[in-house]
Structure 1
């Protein structure tokens, strides 16, 4: 574990594992922290995996500014930390939005892009908020944060325990960060046109039982020049935990195929 310092002096927590071409993981939130230990373990035999906590939460400095431009710049700091010109980029949920924003701004620095449990370009459907409210009302929990995270698991009998394990170690969520970034995303006048800048191969991975349905990513498939989608049948919002073998096969095959193509291109 180490700290990576941004150009404005913010210390970002980071962890590096494995060996091979670099894969940078971009966690969800906003205002959350890296919960990718199991996912990193799936990839570490074939790739060098970079985990990090975004500014404002977890083990990184709790300081702003909380803007898309600043978070894209922070991700560029992590990319620089890999010492590689291009990286594979995997973003989950909010992290998929951030990874896409980065790929739009720096298309020449992204080898391939994986968007896991992303929402579409118009955000989640109204049915999502309604279903979350119904689950929270039916399954009360003293810990509001864990209760909300638990709504992302398909198996309701184990959802709360899964959420608790996912949030260990536990930090204080940053609501200010979340509200600022999500408001900025909602205010963007055009999210379709910038997708044309993303030249890398893109894989959208979505759990069949996600409360944000797979069809919600149709807009991403239409807007991204080189995108395909894969559905994980026995998962909701956290497919690497709910259906790990299927998720591992999908991600590993996609990443290794891209790495093999890059090696051939260099030769």
Structure 2
């Protein structure tokens, strides 16, 4: 369904048949590239326990492109979705860049969260340097240096350039490399290059929530794939060290997406955590 949230149309899907079940809102990563399909895959199976709300964020997927594309605006959109769903408290989940927004929400609205689930994310922008080094050293891609830096610095020229760049970088993401899967993802993606540029050229330059993470008061599950190239394991270890009530789960046969690389283990890990910490 399309909802107008804070003056912008968002493509929203609410999964689960029990109107009295607690709410889980999941935020996708890759602003300008991501969509609700990623959190639906990762958290949709929990719809037997929760009402699971997934959506295309402002400036991504099938949602509208009304700015600003800032962390503050994306956090405000999450809170408006919570209010629309009629929940006083909920579980916040976020993967990759969506993890940035999940942590920012936990800092801004601690009273609203039952629990926090993070997937392959970082507490500051320093992971960018690690990611660039990992891309340069990978034997999966013959990296185009200009393309890599335009992606990582938010200087993409247009949507065709965005698509071409995404095709080059996608082989880095999975634990295994399947060219057919890469091409399918490239062709099924909606491209919003201006959103990506705002996120990587403006937002990330100022992003650092490490000083605030010790104030996060809800239980947190921090998950990461062992071979994640863009937000490596050290980033998740740092988050788990800083959030007081947290546990870290490293998926040994996963890249940037344990929900797709090790789906059964990921589902069981998240389900066990939420049954213990969020169903009350």
- TM above 0.5, one fold? yes
User: TM-score, normalized by length of structure 2?
Assistant: 0.82
Structure 1 residues 22, 168: CA separation in 2 closer, same or farther (over 3 Å shift)? farther
| Corresponding position: 1:150 with 2:168 | no
> Aligned equivalents of 1:201 and 1:165: distance in 2?
37
Q: CA deviation at 1:227?
A: 1.7
Matches within 5 A, 1:1-267: 2-7=1-6, 9-18=7-16, 19=18, 20-32=21-33, 33-36=35-38, 37-124=40-127, 126-133=129-136, 134=138, 135-137=140-142, 143-156=164-177, 158=178, 160-166=179-185, 169-172=188-191, 174-188=192-206, 191-211=209-229, 212-260=231-279, 263=280
> Aligned equivalents of 2:29 and 2:241: distance in 1?
23
Structure 1 residues 186, 259: CA separation in 2 closer, same or farther (over 3 Å shift)? closer
Structure 1 residues 257, 176: CA separation in 2 closer, same or farther (over 3 Å shift)? same
> Aligned equivalents of 2:266 and 2:246: distance in 1?
17
Structure 1 unmatched ranges of 5 or more: none
Helix, strand or coil: the match of 1:14? strand
Q: CA deviation at 1:70?
A: 1.0
Aligned residues: 254
> Aligned equivalents of 2:242 and 2:129: distance in 1?
22
Helix, strand or coil: the match of 2:48? coil
Helix, strand or coil: the match of 1:136? coil
C-alpha contact (below 8 Å) 1:121/1:217 kept by paired residues: no
2:159 maps to which residue? none
Structure 1 residues 241, 165: CA separation in 2 closer, same or farther (over 3 Å shift)? farther
Helix, strand or coil: the match of 2:36? coil
C-alpha contact (below 8 Å) 1:68/1:184 kept by paired residues: no
Structure 1 residues 230, 102: CA separation in 2 closer, same or farther (over 3 Å shift)? same
Note the alpha carbon deviations across 1:76-124, whole angstroms, 9 max, x for none: 1111122111111110000000110111101111110011011243431
Give 4+ residue runs of structure 1 displaced > 4 Å after superposition: 164-168
